[in-house]
Amino acid sequence: MNAAASPAHGGDRVAAILQAHRVPVLFTLCGGHISPILVAAKARGIAVIDTRHEATAVFAADAVARLTGTPGVAAVTAGPGLTNTITALKNAQLAQSPLILIGGAAPTALQGRGALQDIDQRPLVAPHVKRVWQVRRVGDLGPVMLEAFAVAREGVPGPVFVECPVDLLYDEASIRQWYAEAAGKGTSVPDRLLRWYLKRHADRLFADHAGAAHTAPQDVPVTAASAASTARAAAAFAGAAQPLLVIGSQALARPGAAVELAAAVTQLGVPVYLSGMARGLLGRAHPLQMRHARREALRAADCVMLAGVPCDFRLDYGRHLRRSATLVAANRSARDARLNRKPTVTMIGDAGLAIEALARELSGGAHRADWIAALRARDDRREAEIDAGAGRAGEHVNPMALLRELDRSAGDNAVFVADGGDFVATTSYVLRPRGPLGWLDPGAFGTLGVGAGFALGAARMRPGSEIWLVWGDGASGYGLAEFDTFVRHGVPVIAIVGNDAGWAQIAREQVKLLHDDVGTVLARTAYHDVARGFGAEGIEVKRDAEVAPALQRARELAAAGRPVLVNVWLDKTDFRDGSISM
C-alpha cells in the first residue's frame, strides 16, 4: 500500500500505519488521551485487546514480536499509564524484542502547565528504548510511525516509543473548537492575544496534513556476518575435536526462518544447547540437542560458537569456557559479542544467518560421534536422576512428577509460557518444548510478571494451539487479574500454578545463609477460586494421583474455549540447591 485517502483524524493516521504493517492486534488499557487510536484501529479491522494493567499490554506486544518478527504494538495513556510500562519496556529491550509503544500525552498547548497526567515522559522512557519520538504536528504522525516500525526492527531489535499528544489525535474541527472555547470571548488585550496565540498554535498543529497519507512499510535489511569471518569459523570447527553450539534467542530474530535454521544445525552435526526463544528449535528429541550439564560441556569443548548469546551471568561471564578453546561469537550486537570474553572469531550480523552460512561453508558438517556420545551419556544420566526424583512420594505433589506428567499430556501444538523462579527453573530442566517458537520466557532481565501478557500474545498469534502458562505462585500474583481479560476476550489459556507457598528460589539460599525466611513466605492461596471469580474455570490439585486427570480436564476446557487455572499444591524440593544467580 503506497498511499491511502486522507484519514479522518490523527488517530486514524496512526491506525493506517498499523494496518499497512498488517498488525493483527493492538494491546491497550484505555485512556482518554488515546481513544481515537483505539476506535480507528477497530474500524480498520485490527483487534483491540484491553488488559487490566499496562505492563500486560506491553508484555503481550513483546510476545507477538518474538513469535512473528513483526513489532508488536501497545498503546497506553499518559502519565501513570506510561510509567506502568517501564519494567515491561526494559524487559523487551534486554530481550531485544522489536515493539512499538504508543503513549498519549497532554495537549501540546498545556504541557508544563499542570494538565491532567502531564509529565515530561522522554527522560522516563528514553533509557529503555532505542528511540523516542514526541510528535508535534498531525502531518508527522504517519511518517514517524513508519520510521518507528523500521527502527524497532533494524540492527539489534528493540522497543521504541512514540508520544502522541491528545490534540493531534482528534479531528481538526473538534480541536479548533476546543481551543476557541479555551480562549474565551473576552475583549481585553490579553484575551485577544490568547485567542491569536491558540489559533496560531492550532494552525501549526494542522499545517501540511491534508492529502494522501503514505503508509508503505520501509524495507529493513538484515545484516549478515562477513564471508571472511564465516571462513575462519568454518576452519575452526573443521579442526575441532569437541565442537559445541550454544544458541540463544537472538538467533530466532527472524522467526519465519526457524525451519531453515534447524536444518542448518542438523547439517553441521555439532552438539547444541538451546536457551531462551531457541528452546524447541529442534523439536523434542533431536539427537544433537543436549539439555543438561552445559557447564561441564563448555569446559570440555575445544571450539564453541555462541550464536545470539552473550557471556553474561547465564554463562558465568565466560568462565565456563576454557581459555585454550576457540570462541566464535555470532551476534547482531558488537558489544554483546565481546561482553566479558574476547572472541577468537567475531561474526557481527544475524546469528541465525551465521549458522546457516557456517553450515554451507562446512558442507560435510563437523560430526564427532565419540564427543556426541559422551555428552548424550551424561544427559541420559541426568534424565535418570530426574526420573528417580519424580518417583519420590510426599505429602502433596512432587514438582518433577507434575512436570513429567505435563510433558506427557500437553499437545504437539503446545506453546509453553514460563513465569516464575524456582518452579519455572525446574520446568526448564524437565519440560521439552514441542517445536520452534514453542517456549516463551522473560529473557536476560529475569522479570517476574510476564506470564499473563506473554500468554495473551501467544494465544492471539497461535490460534488453535494449547497455551500453557507455567506460573510460580509468587509470579502469579502479578497477573491473576488478567483472567478477566482472558474471559472477556475468549482466550483459552491453561495456567498451572506451582503452589509451594513461598518464594522458594530466594528462600532456599536466604535461609541457608542468613537463617531467616523473612519476606519469602506465602500462603496456600486458593488461586483456582480467584480464577473462578473472574469467570474462568478453576481446578485444585493436592495429591500426585490427581495430576493427570486435572491436566486432561484442563485441556478439555481449553479446547472448548474456556480459560482455566490449575492450582497444584507442591512439596518442597532440593532439586535446585545452590542455583542462585548473581
Evaluate if residue 477 carries a pLDDT over 50: yes
Residue 26, beta-bridge partner list: 48, 73
Q: State the Cα angle at 213 between 210 and 217, rounded to 5°.
A: 160
- State the average pLDDT over residues 28-34: 94
Euclidean distance between CA atoms 573 and 422, whole angstroms: 10
Kindly indicate the confidence band of residue 7, based on its pLDDT and cuts at 50, 70 and 90. Answer: low
CATH domain 391-569 topology: Rossmann fold (3.40.50)
Give the largest CA-CA distance in the chain.
93
The set of cell numbers assigned to 396 is 502433596
CATH of segment(s) 227-375: 3.40.50.1220
- Report the pLDDT value the prediction gives residue 574, as an integer from 0 to 100: 73
Using the CB atoms, write b or e for 54-91: b if 16+ within 10 Å: bbbbbbbbbbbbbbbbbbbbbbbbbbebbbbbbbbbbb
* CATH architecture designation of domain 3-214: 3-Layer(aba) Sandwich (3.40)
Residue 347, beta-bridge partner list: 330
> pLDDT tens for residues 306-352?
999 999 988 999 998 999 999 999 999 999 999 999 999 999 999 99
Q: Which of 21, 60, 62, 28 is nearest to 44 (CA)?
A: 21
- Report the pLDDT value the prediction gives residue 3, as an integer from 0 to 100: 43
Domain boundary assignment for the chain: 3-214, 227-375, 391-569
- Report the pLDDT value the prediction gives residue 1, as an integer from 0 to 100: 39
- Report the pLDDT value the prediction gives residue 582, as an integer from 0 to 100: 54
Evaluate if residue 13 carries a pLDDT over 80: yes
Among 53-62, 188-197, 297-306, 514-523, the range scoring the smallest mean pLDDT is 188-197
* CB 358, CB 268: distance < 8 Å: yes
- Report the pLDDT value the prediction gives residue 185, as an integer from 0 to 100: 84
> pLDDT tens for residues 445-462?
989 999 999 999 999 999
Euclidean distance between CA atoms 247 and 277, whole angstroms: 9
> pLDDT tens for residues 397-428?
999 999 999 999 999 999 999 999 988 889 99
Evaluate if residue 195 carries a pLDDT over 70: yes
Please check whether the two domains, 3-214 and 391-569, share a CATH topology: yes
SS3 305: strand
User: What residue has cell string 498511499?
Assistant: 3
Residue 356, amino acid = E
Q: Which of 101, 195, 212 is nearest to 151 (CA)?
A: 101
Quick one: CA torsion of 175, 179, 181, 185, rounded to 10 degrees? -150
